[in-house]
Structure 1
Amino acid sequence: MGVVGFKPSYGLLSRWGVIQYANSLDTVGILARNVGDVRKLFWCLNWHDAQDPTSLPVSVRHRMKKTNGMQIKKKFRIGVPAEYNIEELSPIVRSAYIRTLTTLQSAGHTLYPISLPSTRQALSAYYVLAPAEASSNLAKYDGIRYGYRTSGPDASPKKNSPLFAQTRGEGLGDEVKRRILLGAYTLSSEAIDNHFIQAQKVRRLVQRDFDRVFAKSNPLLDARPFMSSHTERVDVILTPTAPTLPPTVEDVKQQGPVESYMNDVFTVPASLAGLPAISLPVQLSEKEKHGMGEEDVKSVGMQILGQFGNDEVMLEAAGAVEELLR
């Protein structure tokens, strides 16, 4: 039947005890059967933790509450970004997306077309920044300070391999090693200006795109970016979670790295901007299921995005969507 997956605003939930992957992106999330369970757990965990250096301080949390207020919304202004209607979007996913939007509009919620132009560069920027941070964070897993250590010699002088080569070769999976190598290259003197620095600039553009369309201002910023029209301001944004149906285990085994990375095209913009996001399972209609095999997944994810720190309103919207789609 699918699972609800929630990623809160960056810095709200403590990361104490979590192995670091990418410091500026790592966020503790919640998986649950429904939005109600997500909200209950979120209320329990949403506190400042002095042991986590990325945990938002109490002063910022108070500012966020003051900015957002105690809002109980019944009808939402929902943004529909043009840039998420890509050619690679599966016909079944597109059909379910349109059906979800139509259902929301029929229930009295308002749909607004919005533009997030930097979305096109977000995926590339993410896969520059994340591996770069991972390469730095995972360097300590050498078998001496942390992690697995090989039982035999750790280096091979005949092959001119450095110390820890055997340990890291055995102890890290292929995808982890791929990202470490990519990150190491990105941070090299030859590539840092053309890759890492440019990716940081794209990240800022992605953040500005989101700040421009949300009705609520970002509590971390002093002023709202220029907005061309009041009609563009929305409470939440609704998009598919992925451009294709959820892959089976066998499908994942056959996917190449690039194909696998493309599945993240709709989720990485929110991660780059540190925004809260939630994915809800939407069951396919009988028409959409036509021709599918028994092993195929019969639901698709719909993603709701909210402004930074506006997690409660986003969860309210997710609850309304979940209720309509039952």
Structure 2
Amino acid sequence: MSLLREAEKCIVNQRTFSGLNAFITPLQRSGPWLDSVRAADDRRQNGKSISPLDGHLIAVKDNICTRSMPTTCASRILDHFTSPFDATVVQKLERAGAVIAGKTNLDEFGMGSHSVHSRFGPVRNARGDQELSAGGSSGGSAVAVATEQCYAALGTDTGGSVRLPAAYTGTVGFKPSYGLLSRWGVVAYANSLDTVGIMARSTAVARDVFRVLNHHDHRDPTNLSPQTRDRITSRLSSPPLSGRLTSQPLRIGVPLEYNLAELSPSVRDTWRKTLTNLQNEGHSIHAVSLPSTKSALSAYYVLAPAEASSNLARYDGVRFGTRATGPDSDDADARSGHLYAKTRGEGFGAEVQRRILLGAFSLSADAMDNYFVQAQRVRRLVQEDFNRVFAMENPLSRKTSSNAGDKDPAVDVLICPTAATTAPTLSSVMPNGLSSSSSSTLSAYLTDVFTVPASLAGLPAVSVPVAAADNNEGSDTVGIQVIGQYGDDEFVLKVAELIEQV
């Protein structure tokens, strides 16, 4: 298929599937992008393509800044904001010849697990005759990829926001190691966790996008330096790591703590089937223990809201954000009025308000030691658990880890489910504002239980769709997650591709 025909098909699908609400700002039917695709078609025919992405349409989550389109973060407080610059990842895509296919819908500021907390309405995941959750917060990107409204898409992953939507929509969702892809121009939710992620219909395409974006950016202070990147590359290219999947079989770890009672039968059976298929290919399966996993979710929901409350303090209608009309306070005494109470009250949705309040409490003087500091300690324990079970040493660790004498064997990767269940119905996860019951809110938070540990440790992880062992739960695929050691991103993608093939 020619690039022009592929692009035209994507644009037609954006109109056909507009009811799924995957895009906040779709690509116009005609415009300068057409000339870009035609030029890429000519380059391809002459064997002069700039990159594997040349001429392909790639969608961008609407919390990643673009000059040519608004950046709203699906929030009223950014209703009228257009960025004066492009994010680094957008610049790299365009230099590689890719065409931005539009801005996709999301949970407001990336806070949610089902893409229902958007001022533009929920993202819909139509599977058969059912309307299901698209996962969150990158649900718009996932649905856009699944319905071929674009070639691939960028999302952001803070605690699973790329992998969970991928599992629910039957696509590939890849979260690289923290610090590999630039966050410059990405609207911050939780700085120490946010990672630009990639969504595609195959692992091969996700790898192509990753290689275009995986370069140092001096503007992002959390981006890995060239020296650190060289050290990681040197370690991966030396034996025995260089022989994995070629001269030696995989050692696959199965975390005991991930075998929860809450796993649905379809997910459990598909996980078991995947491991059996890999074992039949000659790879070995090893049970490992990650004891701190039980506390990871609690730590995440202390750390992420704490960072969010700090990051979102700038949206006051004075420096950033759309200012509410009228007086800022209903108080008759102007001296006791609040400068931006009304602006923030009207601009932020219920879930964002909830997380700001939670974060502000955990950072307060009375609660910091009991919550925030303890959560940081749990985060370190989670990192140490992963370092203990992986054969490859963490290249950022100053300590030399050794598995000698440990109960657990050293493994190359971990394989586990991405989510405990297949996608729930959309109606069952729709919010009711701040009045939502505590049980429904907690249930939404628990969907991240399998994805949060890798985020806390900054590890690469990818969700791959695997044919369901049975489709009695209304889904023909189940998301299976591959987790690797820090910096081992290419190998994680190789294992994901292996799972696709078996």
After TM superposition, is the score higher than 0.5? yes
Hey, what does 1:317 align to over in structure 2? 495
**How do 1:225-240 and structure 2 match up within 5 A?**
225-227=401-403, 228-229=405-406, 232-240=409-417
Deviation at residue 77 of structure 1 after TM alignment? 1.1
Matches within 5 A, 1:1-326: 2-69=170-237, 71=242, 73-74=244-245, 75-158=249-332, 162-227=338-403, 228-229=405-406, 232-253=409-430, 256-285=440-469, 288-290=470-472, 292=473, 296-324=474-502
Alignment check: 8 A CA contact 2:267 2:478 kept: yes
**Matched letter for residue 184 of structure 1:** A
Amino acid at match of 1:221: S
For residues 357 and 338 of structure 2, what CA distance do their matches in structure 1 show? Answer: 15
67 and 161 in structure 1: CA distance in 2 versus 1, 3 angstrom threshold: farther
Q: 1:95 offset after TM fit, Å?
A: 1.1
Once residues 158 and 121 of structure 1 are traced to their aligned partners in structure 2, the CA distance between those partners, rounded to angstroms, is 47
Structure 2 unaligned segments of length 5 or more: list them. 1-168, 432-438
Q: 1: distance between equivalents of 2:442 and 2:273?
A: 29
TM-score by length of 1: 0.93
| Runs of 4+ off more than 6 Å | none
1:129-161 CA distances to partner (integer Å, 9 max, x unpaired)? 000000000000111111121112122324966
Q: Contact between 1:93 and 1:245, CA under 8 Å: does it hold in 2?
A: yes
Cα distance per residue 1:168-207 (max 9 Å; x no partner): 1111111111100000000001100000000000000000
What secondary structure is seen at the aligned counterpart in 2 of 1:10? coil
Question: How far apart in 2 are the matches of 1:46 and 1:154?
Answer: 45
Q: Partner letter of residue 411 of structure 2?
A: V
1: CA distance, partners of 2:215 / 2:488:
15
TM-superposed CA distance for 1:300, in Å, is 1.5
Residue 249 of structure 1: how far off its partner (Å): 2.2
Distance 2:399 2:373 in 1: 25
Q: CA deviation at 1:72?
A: 5.4
The one-letter amino acid of 1:289's match is N
State the TM-score, normalizing by the size of structure 2. 0.61
Q: Which amino acid aligns with 2:188?
A: Q
Which deviates further from its counterpart, 3-12 or 65-74? 65-74
Identity of aligned residues (%): 54
Cα pair distance change 1:172/1:231, threshold 3 Å: closer
Letter in 2 for 1:35: T
* One-letter amino acid of the structure 2 residue matched with residue 114 of structure 1: V
**In structure 1, how many angstroms separate the alpha carbons of the residues matched to 2:399 and 2:494?**
26
Q: Tell me, in whole angstroms, the C-alpha distance in 2 between the residues paired with 1:158 and 1:245.
A: 52
Return the offset for 1:273.
0.3
Q: Can you list the C-alpha shifts for 1:269-311, whole angstroms capped at 9, x where unaligned? A: 00000000000111213xx223x4xxx3332111100000011
Greater share of helix residues, 1 or 2?
Answer: 1
CA separation in 1, counterparts of 2:183 and 2:475? 32
Unpaired runs of 5+ in structure 1? Answer: none
Deviation at 1:251, TM superposition (A): 2.7
What is the DSSP-based 3-state SS (H/G/I as helix, E as strand, rest coil) of the residue aligned with 2:230? helix
Distance 2:421 2:359 in 1: 27
Tell me, yes or no, if the aligned pair for 1:248 and 1:297 is still in contact at 8 Å.
no
Question: Retained in 2: the 8 A contact 1:211–1:224?
Answer: no
For 2:394, the aligned partner's letter is N
Alignment CA distance shift 1:161-1:174 (3 Å): farther
Quick check: 1:150–1:170 contact (8 Å CA) kept in 2? yes
Local SS of the residue matching 1:157: coil
Note if contact 2:288-2:408 (Cα within 8 Å) is conserved in structure 1.
Answer: no
Q: Deviations over 1:237-281 (max 9, x none)?
A: 001001111223223216821000100001000000000000011
Say which SS state the counterpart of residue 256 (structure 1) adopts: helix
One-letter code of the match for 2:226?
A: V
Distance between the aligned counterparts of 2:421 and 2:187, measured in 1? 30
Aligned equivalents of 2:489, 2:329: Cα separation in 1: 49
